[in-house]
């Protein structure tokens, strides 16, 4: 494996984040802090506890997942789309770097950025709501797994997109609504029975449920099922990327 190439691409992507620190890190943290102020402090004080957890603390895992999902997708999709846009992707494809090494470097950088952002939001949450993590190791495991999985998904979007509009279409029109409807701000057990069953078709429900369990030991869906669903989506993304590089879909045209 060409570790030098992986390190070079990884460092380049991380240095781009340092150049756009205000947009990449500071802005999402401040935006999420507003959720803590409005929903956690102002509205949360008027809402009863959910499963014995204060509302302000209850929404923290959902907000971290929301930021992690959207950031992972946007970072990875832009990272591979920009070389396509400028034409430098052909230099990368002709270099002595395997497809696996390209994916590892770009996805690794995107996942690292998302992890940093997620942990910063978690640290910020302590200033607004009392928060304890029942299973910190599982919390980090779910966070890493989610960041890697959706960075792979974002990488696919970056290859598929043929314009900047398409880069934003999937995160804004699909992922963000699914996250809001996936139990970020409520427990799905609060819904009528029919809508509880409908909500189970939302894949984000399983991510948020498992992540929330690592905090409060309370989950809307069995943790084992949530973990299996996440791994299944991860394997699906890996299989799709393997097909993309094998066929050269929107890479060699």
Token digits for 11? 């460092």
Average pLDDT (8-28) is 81
Cβ atoms 56, 128 nearer than 8 A:
yes
Token digits for 236? 């699906």
**Numbers of helices and strands, H then E, in the chain:** 13, 0
What pLDDT is attached to residue 45? 65
Question: Which comes out higher in pLDDT, residue 91 or 221?
Answer: 221
User: If you count them, how many residues does the chain have?
Assistant: 253
Average pLDDT (138-158) is 94
Question: Which comes out higher in pLDDT, residue 19 or 100?
Answer: 100
Average pLDDT (65-90) is 89
SS3 59: coil
What pLDDT is attached to residue 237? 93
Q: Which residues contact 140 (CB under 8 A, 6 or more apart)?
A: none
Token digits for 31? 């935006």
Residue 216: closest CA among 142, 135, 137, 144 = 135
Structure pTM? 0.90
**Kindly report the CA angle at 187 between 55 and 39, in degrees rounded to 5?**
30
d(CA 62, CA 210): 10
Token digits for 44? 């949360």
Name the percent of the chain in helix, strand, coil, to the closest 5: 80, 0, 20
Residue 188: closest CA among 176, 174, 202 = 202
Residue 26 pLDDT class (50, 70, 90 cuts): confident
Residue 28: closest CA among 63, 56, 62, 79 = 63
- Mean of per-residue pLDDT scores for the chain: 88
d(CA 126, CA 81): 36
Residue 31 pLDDT class (50, 70, 90 cuts): confident
Angle 3-19/99-125 helices, nearest 10 degrees?
Answer: 40
DSSP state of 50: B
Residue 137 has pLDDT above 80, yes or no: yes
């Amino acid at each position: 494996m060409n570790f030098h190439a992986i390190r070079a691409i990884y460092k380049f992507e991380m240095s781009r984040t340092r150049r756009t620190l205000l947009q990449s890190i500071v802005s999402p943290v401040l935006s999420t802090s507003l959720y803590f102020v409005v929903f956690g402090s102002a509205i949360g004080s008027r809402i009863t506890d959910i499963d014995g957890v204060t509302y302000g603390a209850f929404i923290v895992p959902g907000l971290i997942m929301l930021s992690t999902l959207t950031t992972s997708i946007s970072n990875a999709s832009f990272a591979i789309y920009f070389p396509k846009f400028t034409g430098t992707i052909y230099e990368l494809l002709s270099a002595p770097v395997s497809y696996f090494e390209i994916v590892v470097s770009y996805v690794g950088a995107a996942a690292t950025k998302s992890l940093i952002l997620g942990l910063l939001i978690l640290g910020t949450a302590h200033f607004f709501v009392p928060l304890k993590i029942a299973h910190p190791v599982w919390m980090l495991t779910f966070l890493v797994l989610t960041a890697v999985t959706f960075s792979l998904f974002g990488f696919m979007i970056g290859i598929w997109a043929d314009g900047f509009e398409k880069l934003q279409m999937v995160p804004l029109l699909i992922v963000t609504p699914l996250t809001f409807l996936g139990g970020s701000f409520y427990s799905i057990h609060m819904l009528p029975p029919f809508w509880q069953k409908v909500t189970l078709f939302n894949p984000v429900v399983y991510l948020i449920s498992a992540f929330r369990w690592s905090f409060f030991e309370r989950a809307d869906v069995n943790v084992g099922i949530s973990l299996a669903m996440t791994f299944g989506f991860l394997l699906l993304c890996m299989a799709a990327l393997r097909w993309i590089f094998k066929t050269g879909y929107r890479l060699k045209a």
